[in-house]
Structure 1
């Protein structure tokens, strides 16, 4: 994970929680259904302030949260009694095959190598276990995209083909996550190839309900037994 960029989440936890968590829907669209019923510990990689802990519990699983920001975890602690730890998504502090379920939440734009994160998540997943990845839609959400508030459309710049970290652009807007944190980009082909590199069986893709132009893309995959 990019140390400089993710250190910026420290000191922003209250702003982040107020903007993205407090008053939001109890379950992100489609996430509970994609996760399905289960049991045992579920590792929530990039758990932030605990936005998805209620969903994990509703599925029958137990929360284990990991985030690079100790400030985010300060607020996450108010939403669970389960284990929480500071850690790097690309170097997870767990032995092989530790979890029956792993969630990778909204971090594709925060890491240097999305493939490394998925491969680490696969490493700690037990045979037959489920991985859920949920986050930025590679085509319609990212540092190459302009949000058109008047009609809900989006404009994609030719920088779509530029992977990795992007310099701030005039169309990023003021006060959003991009201005606060910066943003990396994973083009669609790289995104899909990252999953193929894990050897997981891809079971389902969804573009969760929301704006007319999809904001998020989510995947359910399973480790071969």
Structure 2
């Protein structure tokens, strides 16, 4: 099975990831603040090259990764144990994982609402999911970040679609495409999966580029 990221895995590892060494998007800050310290296995769904495995390990968790792209997993294997798998059909039993993270991956998964249900299935009662993704209100084909003074929001925010349209040719959307959900639709996905919303965060100023959510599987489920 081919995955879109197979063709760009080398570029992603060598050129794209190093751009955020100062954590300007607040991704690492969000993981630290929302996941926090813990123990046991923490599955990263859509782990890519495993860039955040070290941070998850620093927090006391045992990082494990799942991704569809064999190209990305070639880099990830040196950073954490991995399995090649469709996020909508995770190879784990019901209720076995204390923690799951999804980091900058939900727009790569057109079936993310189903992925959330699958995450809820594999989480233990009381288990935590930390979702860190592009901010649905300010990042998408409808948002033009090319200006220095302001982000321009054009028509299209309410359209649920997959596209390669982008204001830049230096990002991911123009290469592999991206899906979009307006904010209510995304948050409803957590609730519809049976997850309880717990905490939130936003990254980058003055306009947030990332939205983070901590949710839990109900203890009685």
TM-score normalised to structure 2 length = 0.91
Equivalent residue, structure 1, for 2:40: 40
Equivalent residue, structure 1, for 2:190: 195
Point out where structure 2 has 5 or more consecutive residues left out of the alignment.
none
Equivalent residue, structure 1, for 2:79: 79
| 1:17 lines up with 2:13 in the alignment | yes
Give the deviation of 1:52 after TM superposition: 0.8
Equivalent residue, structure 2, for 1:144: 142
Point out where structure 1 has 5 or more consecutive residues left out of the alignment.
none
Equivalent residue, structure 2, for 1:92: 90
CA distance in 2, matches of 1:124, 1:164: 28
CA distance in 2, matches of 1:161, 1:114: 17
CA distance in 2, matches of 1:149, 1:16: 25
Within 5 Å, give how 1:1-225 maps onto structure 2.
Answer: 7-22=3-18, 24-25=21-22, 28-80=28-80, 83-151=81-149, 153-166=150-163, 168-169=164-165, 172-208=167-203, 210-225=204-219
Give the deviation of 1:25 after TM superposition: 4.4
CA distance in 2, matches of 1:161, 1:113: 18
CA distance in 2, matches of 1:177, 1:103: 20
CA distance in 1, matches of 2:153, 2:106: 18
CA distance in 1, matches of 2:155, 2:176: 22
CA distance in 1, matches of 2:146, 2:18: 25
Check whether the contact 2:39–2:61 (CA below 8 A) recurs between aligned residues: yes
Change (3 A) 1:14 1:136: same
Check whether the contact 1:114–1:186 (CA below 8 A) recurs between aligned residues: no
SS of structure 2 residue aligned to 1:12: helix
Change (3 A) 1:15 1:211: farther
Give the deviation of 1:172 after TM superposition: 2.6
RMSD of the alignment, in Å?
Answer: 1.8
